[in-house]
Amino acid sequence: MNIDLHCHTNLSDGSLSPEELVALAHERNIDILAITDHDNIDCHHQISSLDTDLMLISGIEFSTTWRNMGVHIVGLNMDLSNKDLLSGIDFQTNARGLRANLIDEKLHNLGFENCLEGAKRFCSGKQVGRPHFAQHLVDIGAVSNIQQAFKRYLGAGKAGDIKQQWADLETVISWIRGAGGIAVIAHPTKYNMTRTKLCGLIEDFIDFGGEAIEVISGAQKADTTQNMAKLCNDYSLLASCGSDFHAPGQPWAALGMVAKLPESCQPVWAKW
């Protein structure tokens, strides 16, 4: 089966509407799809009425911190009407609003005026994120492309990298588990952690009730997959996989173009 359990619409930081993303999933012959927008589930209200033979799994990608490092936790197969989950989403939405204001303030101090209002012009959903600020910086000629905006102003360690307002790891996992879902460590190789730190994250994640890790995230080398599979099995975690799709034309994160999990791994969908 073709399974993609991590992708984004324009209701967070993707470029396609929920309807367009589902249509692309059909084109790519995807069998099971989870849309995991950042800290919101608005897309699921739009796709719930679609006539599709896709197996659509509820999903979300929560931002959180662990030992002052930003990490992302995907929630899969949740009850989207769960009150604790909805309260958690409200908390994160407020945190994103605060974060947007702080980014606007930081950019103002660097000489860029009205960045929040500018970023909102590129936002289809309720939440303004760093990619929307990046698009604004490109639009006003401050940088030549999105990558440069992150390298100079919005990426890790830069002025627009604001983390401290998120709910903590244990709380985020409790929201997912409270809604009957499975918590997954998203794209573990992208945090630039040492092996020791990554193992520490996994151990705390398990202690808090986490159950799975993305063994495959987008296009990655075979040795990376084998390394993540070994880590997954060493800690008796379930294995997930996803493209982390945001927009067409990005071959490193192409919807539905996800390699098969190693046979040694127990897939997360085995619990559904």
Percentage with pLDDT > 70 across the chain: 100
Query: What residues pair up with 38 in beta bridges, in sequence order?
Result: 61
First to last CA, the chain: 15
Average pLDDT, the chain: 95
Q: How many CB atoms lie within 10 A of CB 17?
A: 16
Could you tell me the two tokens for 18? Answer: 């929920």
Q: Do the first three CATH levels of 3-85+168-271 and 90-154 match, i.e. the same topology? A: no
Domain boundaries 90-154, CATH class: mainly alpha
Please say whether the beta carbons of 73 and 184 come within 8 A.
yes
Residue ranges of domains in the chain:
3-85+168-271, 90-154
Q: What angle do CA 205, 252, 199 make, to 5 degrees?
A: 20
**pLDDT of res. 66:** 94
Question: What's the confidence (pLDDT) of residue 162?
Answer: 86
Provide the 3-class DSSP secondary structure of residue 92.
helix
Percent of the residues in the chain that have a pLDDT greater than 90, as a whole number: 88
Instruction: Give the pLDDT mean for 28-53.
Output: 92
Please provide the CATH number assigned to the domain covering 3-85+168-271: 3.20.20.140
φ, ψ (nearest 5 deg) of residue 73: -120, 120
Q: What's the CA gap between 45 and 199, in Å, rounded? A: 36
- The lowest-confidence range among 7-21, 65-79, 123-137, 190-204 is 123-137
Q: Could you read off the pLDDT of 102-134 as tens digits, one per residue?
A: 999 999 999 999 999 999 999 887 788 899 999
Confidence of residue 193 (pLDDT cuts 50, 70, 90): very high
How many helices, marked H, and strands, marked E, lie in the chain? 9, 8
pTM of the prediction? Answer: 0.92
Residue 88 scores a pLDDT above 90: yes
Report residue 191 as tokens: 């945090």
Which residues, at least 6 apart from 236, have a Cβ–Cβ distance to it below 8 Å? none
- Give the DSSP H or E segment for 181: none
